[in-house]
Structure 1
Amino acid sequence: MIPEYIHDFELRLKYIFREKYNIDQISLERGLPKNVLEEIMAERPLAAAIPEIYGGRGCQVRECLGILAAASYESLPLSLTFGINIALFLEPVAKYADPSLRPEIFKRFLEQQNMGGLMITEPDFGSDALNMKTTNKTSTDGYHIKGTKHWQGLTGMADYWLIASRNQKDNGDLSRDIDFFLCDRTKAGQQIVVEQYYDNPGLYMIPYGLNQLDIHVPSNYKLQPETTGIKMMLDILHRSRMQFPGMGMGFIKRMLDEALAHCQQRNIGNSKLIALDNIQFQLSRMQAAYTICSAMCVRSSQISGINHNLAAEGMEANAMKTVVTDLMQECAHLLVQLSGANGYRTSHIGGRGIMDSRPFQIFEGSNEMLYAQIAETTGKMMKKHKLRNLIEFLEDFPLTQRAGEHFRKTLSFEIEENLPQRKLVDLGKIIARIICISYVLEMQDKGFREDLIKNAITTVQQEVSALVTLQGFNNSNQVIEDYQSNSSWLEMTKSF
């Protein structure tokens, strides 16, 4: 049963975006109109991520994912706005911020519609966060933070920021650990200068840009890690990745609902579009995505609360993030394809969905990098247990053992040592999908409908079979940098 709080929010969003305002028009504008945002935030959706002691609803992952799903059904950018606030600010504050700061922060979120974000990425250090150059130095009244950050969602819009930096020692060297600090833009000495706003081609509602930091914050604005700052960063990022299924859930369901409605209504000759075999195949893939994402939401609700430390849970976090974002992008493409020419419009939710969902495969770690990490981690575990055969490992590994029997024949092969990166990526895709089918089977135990479960398993079996073929195919092609020499097609036609 859907919690009443989330159900009411769904109805309110539907009214705001479909009756009172035109979401198709709003989505083509930069930023979200202030009056629309105020109406949405008046429902206090972010209360889900605030502890009860401070007037919130208790930081229940189930409710946080429900809010994200409700938002993404109507607007993926709105859901990402909530996701940034929940996973990258409110939850870290609830877990790591000085207790003396929490009452004011949470009160402003609940009563003044404040927002917060996270600054990690730098122009010269994207995924290489451990080499960031933003510095912090102790001063007489706290810390002086200086550096450059970019591609932060809610640039120039957030009231609060969590800023990652490295301590600068007296000799100028930077610490290997990472420190995080709160920044309150309403306080003197904590203003962040936005040098440039980026022209992001999707997610128009969310401002991104280049930020210059030269701020001073009090000593108690430093977050307090349980062990090290790096592990705190991993805990934050892994929890965020485990909440991607919430954003994916509503989006995938909307793509599926729109596709089903179109195919049921569209006539082709004497029959409906949905009667065609290939249309059934495409729609079944969207339904498989719906089932897999549902299973991720169930799993995330069990394991990703702030009472858990997720620093060491990279395998699950990466599997959830990569697979759900691949599914989001595929569902958007399928809806556009099924919709014909009408889908190829920015005012169409499918066409817009392609651009809005695409960066999800890039930010918080590109999918190719995360798939490679999954494969590398698997290889290390197999080597430790002196195993070479993939299915032997997967049927014994806790995250995949439930699903192993469904892939026994396909995955009964030996993993080569020193795989090239391109094969590591494909191997990571296989393992991530097996992990997700284990989630699906666990959800089946809770009573999820059998036909959707079977659909998802068959869909992933087909996909894994194709990926296994790539493992055995020898492709070591390298780029030819001077390719323009002797490669003009016009030269090939001069004798015609």
Structure 2
Amino acid sequence: MIRDPARLDALLADIRTFVRERWHPLEERVQREDAVPEEVVHELRRKGYFGWSIPEAYGGLGLTTEELVLCAFELSQASVALRARVGTNTGIGSEALVADGTEEQKRRWLPRMARGELTGCLALTEPDAGSEASNVQTTALREGDHYVLDGTKRFITNAPIADLFTVIARTEEGSKGSSGLTAFIVERESAGLRTGAPYRKMGQEGSPVSDVMFENCRVPAFNVIGGREGVGFQTVMKVLNKQRLHLAALCTGPAIRMLDLAIAHTQQRNQFGQPVASFQLVQAMIADSQTEIFAARSMILEAARARDRGEDVALSASMCKYFASEMCGRVADRCVQMFGGSGYVADFSPIERYYRDVRLFRLYEGTSQIHQLNIAKLVLRARAAA
């Protein structure tokens, strides 16, 4: 659903210009410093990039799902640090509040998130609760008008720089699985909240990730998202269903960028008296990559439009995330191959960095294997109900 085509076209053009003229020249610096320069963060704030999917009533752009993925296709044609810096606020960092927050909670936090004054993140995964998200062990026990949180979260994107943490914790003693889980907003300055040092990672420099520890962390009862205990798992599933479409689009942009770089290289590089692009086996890799990018983009747009129509997209969102993340990995591998030795050596091209960056796509927000199981489960369930 595109509400105002002219306005959207202007936004897409602005993103495209920013990515190509402002961000691409900075990518080496971001990798070297392992941080997004603060002047760039200020620029992103001025442009309103932190509030894309936050409703207009709370200072955001209120993008529909289709508009959001179209913007994500453009923004992510860059090193992953760019989309990670703004993406948590336009996705998993704010979506629990958007979906289930009370009016008071939305007015307290969403405007500042939309302006980029606050950076959010989702603290769901734990040492023993990854693919099995319902195995959360972090506890939140009620004491008067506060809850006391204890536990450890792991692999939390933006945790070292986050101001707000959407935390899933177990409020019902003795409960198991998805029951008894509650969603909280926990502020950085909360006593008993501590984040670990940023991990050393395979890639995605500039996107800090770390553990989050809660040790007798007191959180006001006001911070229970929606004011209701025991529905945290339902809240996080709403977040993930939308975010999987968003992330699928964010997997597709890097594939577009890598293929553009590879095509330019093969057209300029001559071997045996002709451009490498003229060789049929190279053309086969170009054709396979372009076809898979088109397939991913088409899937994502169809699913986004379905979500905007109010349809259940649990199955299609899972298929989009699975296909787009695997597709991006295949395109990355082909592009290294098309670059040859220059694709493996960081001194000669950015392809080596992109190759490392996109490997994580197949792991977070549901591994490919978990999505395969989820897709099959939903298909079989629908067949049984037919």
Q: Normalising by structure 1, report the TM-score.
A: 0.70
Q: Equivalent residues in 2 for 1:137-152 (5 A)?
A: 137-152=141-156
Q: Do the aligned partners of 1:194 and 1:212 also contact (CA within 8 Å) in 2?
A: yes
Deviates more, 1:345-354 or 1:138-147: 345-354
1:46 equivalent among 29, 50, 54 = 50
Q: Do the aligned partners of 1:42 and 1:113 also contact (CA within 8 Å) in 2?
A: no
How far the C-alpha of 1:111 sits from its partner, in A, is: 3.7
Q: Do the aligned partners of 1:345 and 1:352 also contact (CA within 8 Å) in 2?
A: no
How far the C-alpha of 1:247 sits from its partner, in A, is: 0.5
Q: Equivalent residues in 2 for 1:328-343 (5 A)?
A: 328-343=328-343
Residue by residue over 1:348-405, the C-alpha shift from the partner in whole angstroms, topping out at 9 and shown as x without a partner, is 32211111111110111110122133234434555666xxxxxxxxxxxxxxxxxxxx
Structure 1 CA distance for aligned equivalents of residues 71 and 384 of structure 2: 42
Instruction: Tell me the SS of whatever aligns to 1:213.
Output: strand
Structure 2 CA distance for aligned equivalents of residues 381 and 66 of structure 1: 30
Structure 2 partner of 1:483: none
Instruction: Tell me the SS of whatever aligns to 1:22.
Output: helix
2:67 equivalent among 63, 68, 76 = 63
Structure 2 CA distance for aligned equivalents of residues 346 and 112 of structure 1: 32
Q: Equivalent residues in 2 for 1:259-338 (5 A)?
A: 259-305=262-308, 308=310, 310=312, 313-338=313-338
Q: Do the aligned partners of 2:180 and 2:229 also contact (CA within 8 Å) in 1?
A: no
Aligned residues: CA RMSD:
2.4
CA 1:231–1:340 in 2, change beyond 3 Å: closer, same or farther? same
Structure 2 residue 20 is the aligned partner of structure 1 residue 14 = yes
Structure 2 CA distance for aligned equivalents of residues 48 and 163 of structure 1: 22
Q: Equivalent residues in 2 for 1:441-480 (5 A)?
A: none
Structure 1 CA distance for aligned equivalents of residues 131 and 331 of structure 2: 27
Q: Name the amino acid aligned to 1:14.
A: R
Identity %: 22
Q: Do the aligned partners of 2:183 and 2:231 also contact (CA within 8 Å) in 1?
A: no
Structure 1 partner of 2:82: 78
Q: Equivalent residues in 2 for 1:367-446 (5 A)?
A: 367-382=368-383
Structure 1 CA distance for aligned equivalents of residues 339 and 384 of structure 2: 48
Structure 2 partner of 1:255: 258
CA 1:377–1:108 in 2, change beyond 3 Å: closer, same or farther? closer
Structure 2 partner of 1:162: 166
Q: Name the amino acid aligned to 2:133.
A: A
Structure 2 CA distance for aligned equivalents of residues 107 and 382 of structure 1: 43
How far the C-alpha of 1:54 sits from its partner, in A, is: 1.7
Structure 1 CA distance for aligned equivalents of residues 229 and 331 of structure 2: 40
Deviates more, 1:152-161 or 1:340-349: 340-349
How far the C-alpha of 1:34 sits from its partner, in A, is: 2.2
Structure 2 CA distance for aligned equivalents of residues 157 and 340 of structure 1: 37
Instruction: Tell me the SS of whatever aligns to 2:359.
Output: helix
Structure 1 CA distance for aligned equivalents of residues 303 and 381 of structure 2: 25
Q: Name the amino acid aligned to 2:195.
A: V
Structure 2 CA distance for aligned equivalents of residues 245 and 174 of structure 1: 31
Structure 1 partner of 2:198: 197
Residue by residue over 1:145-181, the C-alpha shift from the partner in whole angstroms, topping out at 9 and shown as x without a partner, is 2211010000121111100011143xx6668332100
How many equivalent residue pairs? 376
Q: Do the aligned partners of 2:171 and 2:229 also contact (CA within 8 Å) in 1?
A: no
Structure 2 partner of 1:223: 225
CA 1:76–1:241 in 2, change beyond 3 Å: closer, same or farther? same
Q: Name the amino acid aligned to 1:75.
A: S
Structure 2 CA distance for aligned equivalents of residues 197 and 146 of structure 1: 21
Q: Name the amino acid aligned to 2:294.
A: T
Instruction: Tell me the SS of whatever aligns to 2:180.
Output: coil
Q: Do the aligned partners of 2:45 and 2:115 also contact (CA within 8 Å) in 1?
A: no
Structure 1 CA distance for aligned equivalents of residues 294 and 66 of structure 2: 17
Structure 1 CA distance for aligned equivalents of residues 94 and 314 of structure 2: 21
Structure 2 residue 359 is the aligned partner of structure 1 residue 355 = no
CA 1:229–1:47 in 2, change beyond 3 Å: closer, same or farther? closer
Structure 1 CA distance for aligned equivalents of residues 229 and 73 of structure 2: 31
- Structure whose CA Rg is larger: 1
CA 1:59–1:178 in 2, change beyond 3 Å: closer, same or farther? farther
Instruction: Tell me the SS of whatever aligns to 2:47.
Output: coil
Residue by residue over 1:322-373, the C-alpha shift from the partner in whole angstroms, topping out at 9 and shown as x without a partner, is 1000111111111111001111134632211111111110111110122133
CA 1:304–1:158 in 2, change beyond 3 Å: closer, same or farther? farther
Structure 2 CA distance for aligned equivalents of residues 121 and 298 of structure 1: 28
Residue by residue over 1:284-337, the C-alpha shift from the partner in whole angstroms, topping out at 9 and shown as x without a partner, is 0111122112213312331335x8485xx4321221111000111111111111
Q: Normalising by structure 2, report the TM-score.
A: 0.89
Structure 1 CA distance for aligned equivalents of residues 104 and 221 of structure 2: 12
Structure 2 CA distance for aligned equivalents of residues 179 and 288 of structure 1: 43
Structure 2 residue 210 is the aligned partner of structure 1 residue 206 = no
Give structure 2 stretches of 5+ with no counterpart: none
Q: Do the aligned partners of 2:19 and 2:77 also contact (CA within 8 Å) in 1?
A: no
CA 1:75–1:192 in 2, change beyond 3 Å: closer, same or farther? same
Give structure 1 stretches of 5+ with no counterpart: 386-496
Q: Do the aligned partners of 2:248 and 2:321 also contact (CA within 8 Å) in 1?
A: yes
Residue by residue over 1:250-282, the C-alpha shift from the partner in whole angstroms, topping out at 9 and shown as x without a partner, is 212111211221122221222221111111110
CA 1:113–1:289 in 2, change beyond 3 Å: closer, same or farther? farther
CA 1:5–1:58 in 2, change beyond 3 Å: closer, same or farther? same
How far the C-alpha of 1:195 sits from its partner, in A, is: 3.2
Q: Do the aligned partners of 2:30 and 2:205 also contact (CA within 8 Å) in 1?
A: no
Q: Do the aligned partners of 1:160 and 1:183 also contact (CA within 8 Å) in 2?
A: yes
